[in-house]
Structure 1
Amino acid sequence: MGGTALSVLTPYAAERVEPILVEEMTAEGLIRYDPDPNDWYSADGLPYGYYLQSPDTETDPEELQLVERASGATMRCDIGLHIFVSNLAGRPALARMAQRVARRTDGWVFVEFHDPPAAELLHRLADAGRCIPVGDAVYLDAAAMAAWIAHPDFHVVK
């Protein structure tokens, strides 16, 4: 898949997640493309989409166990949000939607970094919410994701 994607792991079932996801995409100003309801467009024509799948489809089993231990719940759905083009301007909207969906579904956003995250950054994110480092990436709860979005070095990779 081209473009950029963010993943949100949640203990909610896909049937419960999808209406929340649709509400948040609409709140971000995206418009659903009638021929394919999983495709959405921003006012400036950027193409977005989503998919819902089992959390163990793409998530490493050890990472999944870390998130489940930290949350105290079994993850039941992996929400994939993506923008189909490599467009830097569309990435903040993607991050905001992921953060709001995570907040509403007790979810965790998977965030990759350009470079391994500095200890100071990890500490700042952990102070804001919950942060699980995994190599050059982290799983952030909604509060930590909000702090990452507000951080001057904010970026989305993938």
Structure 2
Amino acid sequence: MLTRVEDVVRLVLRLLQHDLQISEVSVATEFQDNLPDVHLDATQLQQVLLNLIKNAIDAMSSVAREARRLRLTASFDGHASVLLSVEDSGRGIPVKERERIFDPFFTTKTGGMGLGLAICFTVVANHGGKLRLVKSDSDGSIFEVAIPVGGQHSAE
């Protein structure tokens, strides 16, 4: 099944519009023109993005309202993947926790199950992609999802 990344991002932003407004998060999107479709079910990509964006909203809850910025970008790497990044302006993830964030049941949230990122990581990996933390410091975090592009552009 082939999926248009931009369509899924726009849908997820609509689904989370209320949360983003209540949390006073400003959103910017940047999509490269003519992105190829990716080989990942739209619903699964939606789940991954919902999780990453909800985590970003949580990460920004302790920064000043005017500093809460979410940036979503999508680009083709020129080879075989679309790179989708979710960047927040939160506090960042402490160094000692970074290597464990994708482990099942690891959480820093009160009442968190610690399954969100672990499930996202597995879903993306099962489709030949990669989910990774690209950057995290006091200015925020950037998660990147590399998703393989679809083969022949068939009408699936």
TM-score, normalization by structure 2: 0.31
TM-score, normalization by structure 1: 0.30
Larger RCO, structures 1/2 (Cα 8 Å, 6+ apart): 1
Between structures 1 and 2, the one with greater helix share: 1
